[in-house]
Structure 1
Amino acid sequence: MAGINRALASQKTFSESRKIRGVECVFLSHQQQDKEICKKVADYLINAGIDVYFDEYDDDLKLHRQSNNPKGTTTAIRNGINNSSHMLVVVSPNTLFSTWVPFEIGYGYDKTDLGVLCLKGISKGKLPEYVRTAPVIRDIYDLNNLLERLTGKTKELLIETRMMSDHSSYSNPLYEAMDSIINDKY
């Protein structure tokens, strides 16, 4: 079964029942300039059967941002984090200029299982200090390992049922955004 985006208004009631049943949900923390890449990450997780909170579909959050209401924006973000079991901080060069990513990490640090997802070209030395304490997903291989753990299904089964793509496949939807595998991780 595919996951859902818990930020969608049409999914809010359904997502409450999934939360009660303990279905994992990943909050995607990102800089707004990376929203197209994050949409691909969100779709990849959803296809694997993982719920996400991807803010681009949160109508409350959009309304608060458009009306320049920081209190409402903060409340909407906190609600998204409170309804999530995990947080992936998507790191790109743009992340260094985000005003909201540090807030999201600070708020979600003790509430979620925090991880860092690096986009192409982000070396260890380029990671912002505020994310260096969390486990780092350096490439698609690492992301597929995370999906294996979150779903409780083997990577082979997830690939066979087309719930995820092989990390080295050119047809992987994240191939352009993330490294496929980094051999010198440590």
Structure 2
Amino acid sequence: MPVFISYRHMDRAHAIAINSRLTQANIKTYLDVLDPESQTTDDITGVITRNITECTHLLAVVSEKTASSWWVPFEIGEATISNRRICSFRTGPAELPLYLDKWPKLSTDRDLDFFIDAYRTEGSVKRSMTLDSVTGNQSRRTENKHNADSFHEALKNRVRRGF
């Protein structure tokens, strides 16, 4: 169940810090700056799309600099199409776009801990996503959508409560 970390390159330090925190929690991640293929290919769109489809979660690092990014919204769109678990992590005082209200919005280390707990809980209750839940039959895709919605709602409520 790898987590794809989406970010604007100006926010690389935040993305690397989040990657380190998730890695320390024994969560597999994908961060393009650590991927030699994404640094050397002419087909960056294909590489990113493939890596999103190979991940179960997408965590978008969002700052005031993200507003002028084309990649972060593209990556969120790709993750949305296949019902990935999506969260944003706000850095600084940036106002987040309204379309991100659908998913949990994280902004503190504590919120990131809540994400880690939700990620682990999903795996332990056998609600975790498998890749065939995107390409499989309709009932499997419907079940995955329901599970994604449950993940998002539970995490949003926990972040809102603060515990």
| 4+ residue runs over 3 A deviation | 182-185
1:120 aligned to which of 68, 74, 92: 92
SS in 2 for 1:132: helix
**2:14 and 2:61 in contact (8 A); partners too:** no
The correspondence for 1:135, drawn from 98, 104, 122, is: 104
TM, length-normalised to structure 1 = 0.61
Larger radius of gyration: 1
- The residue type paired with residue 8 of structure 2 is Q
Q: Distance in 2 between matches of 1:146 and 1:105?
A: 17
Question: Which of 33, 49, 68 in structure 2 is aligned with 1:56?
Answer: 33
> In 1, distance between residues paired with 2:50 and 2:160?
38
Distance in 2 (alpha carbons) for counterparts of 1:76 and 1:134 = 25
**Bigger helix fraction:** 2
Q: Give the root-mean-square deviation of aligned CA atoms.
A: 2.0
Amino acid in structure 2 at the alignment position of 1:114:
I
TM-score by structure 2 length? 0.69
Match of 1:37 among 9, 14, 17: 14
What is the DSSP-based 3-state SS (H/G/I as helix, E as strand, rest coil) of the residue aligned with 1:90? strand
Gaps of 5+ in 2: 122-158
Q: What residue number does 2:70 align with?
A: 99
Q: Residue 151 in 1 paired to residue 120 in 2?
A: yes
In structure 2, how many angstroms separate the alpha carbons of the residues matched to 1:183 and 1:130?
18
Structure 1: unaligned runs, 5 residues or longer = 1-23, 153-181
